[in-house]
């Protein structure tokens, strides 16, 4: 009996995952606990392992979005290595020509037309947008074959065919439809896929009478609904665009890449009158006005939702201070080579700021707290969240018990978490439970900012660019490397006294690294 493997629960707030890639193919033999695929959520990437040894039978494809608990694959424990099923293409080539002819000749229309309507995809969803047609108009589709992708304000859904037959589009790509609206029709066929559709046969008959190439079909040079709309907005004739889709069909991507052909250069004509030359002079220059659309990833949608919620649900306020970075820069310059030689990691600014933050947080515990209903939770430990920019978006891994780590320990943790973030290998545990956040916009050149709190935390410290500025020191003007610090905090539990005192303490520790190392 086959063992059914379902999408596991990977976090309290995660309701769906996307299959990133299959490491084992359908029909391959897998060992128990062997990694068979990679799952992506809006927070992290996970590896799915085999629950038994046997032959793998996949139930979903790469890119499919599945809810928690949905069946993702099955494993036949009685199967043996090498028992992978023979590919359908190989089976088809073994058929005799007579059998092929017989099978295709049996395909015929039943005269029935199956109407497909937009299904109910959620209680609060009243309309959807037809994102893309996966199967073209006039294509033969199998029962339950995915024919289109539909977008709602919460997720993307795949639309499977409700019958086998010839697909006829009713709605176009980009159309907004209400639940229950007609989206397409299927001319039901019996006996498998026909050798050629009626539309193709008619086109072929017409082509035999013309001088066009025999390789062209009805789809050659024809733009899809979405592509046609884009070309119309650009003012481009579809006849000038080369299609890369099936049989030369112009796809949405072709339309987005297409540029309006420039007319051949000719000798400039003399102005007929002064008025026409004046009009030409006054008219604005026209340049490229192309646009492109990209679907937001689930991670980006989650980030957007969380940031808006923080702005709406907290009494957020930001206070500033500035720090003379010369003492830390001199210390790093003096000992960075010996530090790297001994600990095999660079001595960066993050370890100084993390150590200073831990000392200041223990002295001002409200900055290290959070609200839970009508209660305030004070933390006696410092789990410092570090904002890291990854290819998929901003992620915030956590350095656990940073107050107990040395400078080298903090630097090694920062490097380890940053590498995992950029490789998309962070786990849920590594990104949850922080008590305070550090974000360094200075690496991108930020002079000053007001960072948004990383909920449910109560505060976040923003580091910025180091700039040489004239400063008054003991009655003299000196050029010093200065950095602005910004503390955004939830005014519901942190008052001005705590926030300002926290920043002043950070300034004292950073401008005198000896106090930082001695903890005084």
Distance, CA of 483 to CA of 467 (rounded, Å): 7
| Residue 289, Cβ density class (10 Å: 0-12 exposed, 13-18 middle, ≥19 buried) | exposed
Q: Which residue among 83, 153, 429, 491 is the active-site one? A: 491
For tokens 């380890």, name the residue.
416
Picking from 62, 68, 60, the residue whose alpha carbon sits closest to that of residue 13 is 68
Q: In the annotation, is 495 catalytic?
A: yes
By residue count, the chain amounts to 520
Rounded to 10°, the helix 349-363/407-422 angle is: 110
Picking from 97, 52, 92, the residue whose alpha carbon sits closest to that of residue 76 is 52
Q: Which residue among 380, 429, 495, 512 is the active-site one? A: 495
Q: Secondary structure of 20-37 in the HEC alphabet? A: EEECCCCCCEECCCCEEE
* Residues 6+ away with beta carbon under 8 Å from 475: none
Picking from 66, 60, 53, the residue whose alpha carbon sits closest to that of residue 2 is 53
Structure tokens at 142: 């199998």
- In three-state secondary structure terms, 281 is helix
Evaluate whether 29 touches 55 at the Cβ level (below 8 Å): yes
54-58 β-sheet, strand order: 3-6, 71-76, 54-58, 29-30
Structure tokens at 321: 């201070």
- In three-state secondary structure terms, 242 is coil
Q: In the annotation, is 76 catalytic?
A: no
Helix (H) / strand (E) element for 184: namely strand 182-190
Evaluate whether 513 touches 328 at the Cβ level (below 8 Å): yes
Evaluate whether 16 touches 66 at the Cβ level (below 8 Å): yes
Q: Could you please report the per-residue DSSP string of 86-100?
A: PPHHHHHHHS-HHHH
Report, as residue numbers or ranges, the catalytic residues.
Answer: 491, 495
């Amino acid at each position: 009996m086959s063992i059914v493997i379902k999408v596991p629960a990977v976090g309290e707030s995660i309701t769906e995952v996307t299959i990133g890639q299959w490491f084992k193919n359908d029909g391959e033999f897998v060992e128990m606990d062997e990694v068979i695929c990679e799952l992506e959520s809006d927070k992290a990437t996970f590896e799915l392992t085999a629950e038994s040894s046997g032959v793998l039978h996949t139930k979903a494809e790469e890119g499919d979005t599945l809810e928690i608990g949905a069946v993702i694959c099955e494993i036949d424990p009685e199967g043996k290595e090498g028992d992978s099923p023979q590919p359908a293409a190989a089976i088809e080539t073994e058929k005799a020509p007579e059998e092929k002819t017989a099978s295709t000749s049996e395909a015929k229309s039943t005269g029935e037309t199956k109407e497909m309507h937009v299904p109910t995809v959620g209680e609060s969803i009243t309309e959807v947008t037809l994102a893309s047609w996966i199967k073209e108009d006039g294509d033969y589709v199998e029962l339950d074959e995915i024919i289109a992708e539909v977008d709602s304000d919460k997720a993307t859904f795949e639309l499977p065919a409700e019958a086998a037959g010839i697909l006829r589009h009713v709605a176009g790509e980009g159309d907004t439809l209400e639940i229950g609206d007609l989206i397409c029709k299927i001319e039901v066929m019996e006996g498998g896929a026909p050798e050629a559709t009626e539309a193709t046969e008619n086109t072929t008959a017409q082509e035999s009478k013309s001088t066009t190439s025999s390789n062209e079909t009805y789809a050659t040079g024809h733009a899809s609904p979405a592509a046609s709309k884009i070309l119309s907005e650009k003012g481009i004739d579809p006849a000038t665009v080369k299609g890369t889709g099936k049989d030369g069909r112009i796809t949405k991507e072709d339309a987005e890449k297409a540029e309006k052909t420039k007319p051949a250069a000719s000798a400039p004509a003399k102005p007929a009158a002064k008025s026409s030359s004046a009009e030409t002079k006054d008219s604005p220059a026209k340049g490229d006005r192309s646009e492109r659309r990209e679907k937001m990833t689930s991670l980006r949608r989650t980030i957007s939702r969380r940031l808006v919620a923080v702005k709406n649900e907290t009494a957020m306020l930001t206070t500033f201070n500035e720090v003379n970075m010369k003492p830390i820069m001199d210390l790093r310059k003096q000992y960075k080579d010996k530090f790297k030689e001994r600990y095999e990691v660079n001595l960066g600014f993050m370890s100084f700021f993390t150590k200073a933050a831990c000392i200041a947080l223990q002295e001002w515990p409200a900055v290290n707290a959070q609200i839970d209903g009508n209660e305030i939770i004070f933390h006696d430990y410092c789990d410092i969240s570090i904002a890291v920019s990854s290819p998929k978006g901003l992620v915030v891994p956590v350095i656990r018990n940073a107050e107990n780590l040395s400078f080298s320990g903090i630097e090694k943790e920062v490097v380890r978490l940053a590498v995992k973030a950029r490789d998309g290998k962070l786990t849920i545990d590594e990104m949850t439970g922080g008590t305070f956040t550090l974000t360094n916009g200075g690496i991108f050149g930020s002079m000053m900012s007001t960072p948004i709190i990383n909920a449910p935390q109560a505060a976040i410290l923003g580091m910025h660019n180091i700039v040489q500025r004239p400063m008054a020191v003991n009655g003299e003007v000196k050029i010093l490397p200065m950095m602005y610090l910004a503390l955004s905090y939830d005014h519901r539990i942190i008052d001005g006294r705590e926030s300002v005192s926290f920043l002043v303490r950070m300034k004292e520790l950073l401008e005198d690294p000896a106090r930082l190392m001695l903890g005084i």
